[in-house]
Amino acid sequence: MSGFSGLDRPSRWSATSSTVSRCPSRSSRSAVARWSSDCGARSSAPRCWSWCSWPALSALIPELVPASILQAGNALRGSSRQVSLLAGPVIGGLLVAAGGPKVAFGVDAATFIFSFVILSLASPPPREPLPPAPLLRQVREGLAYTFSVPWLWIFIFVWALVLVGQVGPTNVGLPLFVRDVLGGDARMFGLLTAAVGVGEVVTAVVLAQANVRRLGIGICIFGVVGGLAIAGIGLVPHVAATMLFGAVFGAQFVAIGILWTTAVQKHVPPHLMGRVLSIDFFGGTLLLPAAPVIFAVVIEVVGLSQAFVIGGLFAAAIAGSLLLVPSIRSLE
């Protein structure tokens, strides 16, 4: 529901307001960082604001970037995010070591102020805001449009199954896989996580230069590749192979995000884009709470390696089956 709030206002307003609203939560965390139980409760607030800001940011890109380089703009945004995910833990660790958690959370809060200032300097073309409408009417309009476009609703809700097959074994099983199958420790897990990040960054840079015409086919192919990478982790339980498969998984993850966002931005009317992206976030993550539970049971029954194979092949099969939908094959 939070993704629909503020959509009658310009996207920049929604993005900047939701960005700066994170600061009190971050600052309050710095004041109570010594209470670890409080951090868990307060972590829900930034997540809610993320769900509000992400659709607004995605809807803002077409207002700032010419249509001819829309994919490159999304790739640049994706690569900057991945670089921050790689560098952030390093900087955060140094801040904690130098000044403790209070200083780290305080600096974290300040970065949102910086983001607010930068976003406020953006100058999208002026447009007349839509007349105010009740929230439930906006929800109905977004749902009606989404379900009127076959490729849109099929992708949104079927892809939730792909994410179950990909995210389930990695979130639950990867730390155990590193410890029990590869015989590694936290350092090896960190290297594998870094390999995923490298794959994401490299792919974002490549897609910033390339132009994928058949977006629907590209998304499905990357989904199949990602599923096979997950299965490969279970089939070839060696450190080097796991790092390679991790990089491939990271590559497909960011590629799908770039191509999918570009497709929505190109084909969805601007006044409905934020609503459709909110429905996309809801539908795409609908089954994610169940994925860890499902694969915890699978791991218990068949073992770690087999769970990766099952999840990966399941995800690849679902992603490949979407190529049978004509509107997805023709999506450009």
State whether 155 and 250 are in the same domain.
Answer: yes
Task: Examine the pLDDT at 20 and tell me if it is beyond 80.
Answer: no
Whole-number Å distance between alpha carbons of 318 and 303: 23
State whether 151 and 91 are in the same domain.
Answer: no
Task: Examine the pLDDT at 291 and tell me if it is beyond 60.
Answer: yes
* Straight-line distance from the first to the last Cα atom of the chain, in angstroms, rounded to the nearest whole number: 29
pLDDT score for 6: 45
Does residue 208 sit within a domain? Answer: yes
Q: What is the mean pLDDT of residues 6-19?
A: 49
State whether 115 and 195 are in the same domain.
Answer: no
State whether 172 and 287 are in the same domain.
Answer: yes
Question: Which range has the top average pLDDT, 37-41, 78-82, 111-115, 146-150?
Answer: 146-150
Task: Examine the pLDDT at 233 and tell me if it is beyond 90.
Answer: yes
pLDDT score for 315: 96
pLDDT score for 88: 75
DSSP 8-state class, residue 125: P
Does residue 231 sit within a domain? Answer: yes
Final residue belonging to a domain, choices 63, 97, 120: 120
Whole-number Å distance between alpha carbons of 83 and 85: 5
Residues shown for the chain: 332
Q: What is the mean pLDDT of residues 40-50?
A: 52
Which tokens is 102 given? 């209070």
State whether 75 and 164 are in the same domain.
Answer: no
Q: What is the mean pLDDT of residues 88-98?
A: 80
Specify whether the CB–CB gap between 178 and 189 falls below 8 A: yes
Q: What is the mean pLDDT of residues 291-302?
A: 91
pLDDT score for 55: 66
Residue 52 banded pLDDT, cuts 50, 70, 90: low
pLDDT in tens, 183-201: 988 788 888 888 888 898 8
State whether 171 and 111 are in the same domain.
Answer: no
State whether 91 and 12 are in the same domain.
Answer: yes
Does residue 303 sit within a domain? Answer: yes
Q: What is the mean pLDDT of residues 253-274?
A: 87
Q: Which residue has the higher pLDDT, 252 or 9?
A: 252
State whether 114 and 225 are in the same domain.
Answer: no
pLDDT in tens, 55-81: 667 667 777 777 777 777 777 776 777
Does residue 128 sit within a domain? Answer: no
Q: What is the mean pLDDT of residues 78-107?
A: 79
DSSP 8-state class, residue 128: P
Residue 49 banded pLDDT, cuts 50, 70, 90: low
**Of 33, 54, 56, 58, whose CA–CA distance to 43 is shortest?**
33
For 204-233, letters b (16+ CB in 10 Å) and e give beebbeeebeebbbbbbbbbbbbbbbbbbb
Angle at 163 (CA atoms; ends 309, 75), nearest 5 degrees: 115
Task: Examine the pLDDT at 237 and tell me if it is beyond 70.
Answer: yes
For all residues of the chain together, what is the average pLDDT?
A: 80
Which tokens is 196 given? 């995923």
State whether 84 and 11 are in the same domain.
Answer: yes
pLDDT score for 151: 94
Task: Examine the pLDDT at 288 and tell me if it is beyond 60.
Answer: yes
Does residue 260 sit within a domain? Answer: yes
Count Cα atoms within 13 angstroms, Cβ side, for 26: 19
Does residue 141 sit within a domain? Answer: yes
State whether 196 and 319 are in the same domain.
Answer: yes
Domains contained in the chain, number: 2
Residue 36 banded pLDDT, cuts 50, 70, 90: very low
Does residue 127 sit within a domain? Answer: no
Q: Which residue has the higher pLDDT, 128 or 24?
A: 128
Does residue 125 sit within a domain? Answer: no
Final residue belonging to a domain, choices 56, 86, 120: 120
Which tokens is 179 given? 């410890």
Provide the residue type at 149 as one letter. V
**Of 245, 259, 256, 197, whose CA–CA distance to 222 is shortest?**
256
Task: Examine the pLDDT at 300 and tell me if it is beyond 50.
Answer: yes
Predicted TM-score (pTM) of this structure: 0.75
Whole-number Å distance between alpha carbons of 253 and 241: 18
State whether 202 and 115 are in the same domain.
Answer: no
Whole-number Å distance between alpha carbons of 1 and 52: 8
DSSP letters for 166-191: HHHHHHHHHHHIIIIIS---HHHHHH
The domain containing residue 222 runs over which residues? 135-329
Q: What is the mean pLDDT of residues 140-151?
A: 90
State whether 88 and 215 are in the same domain.
Answer: no
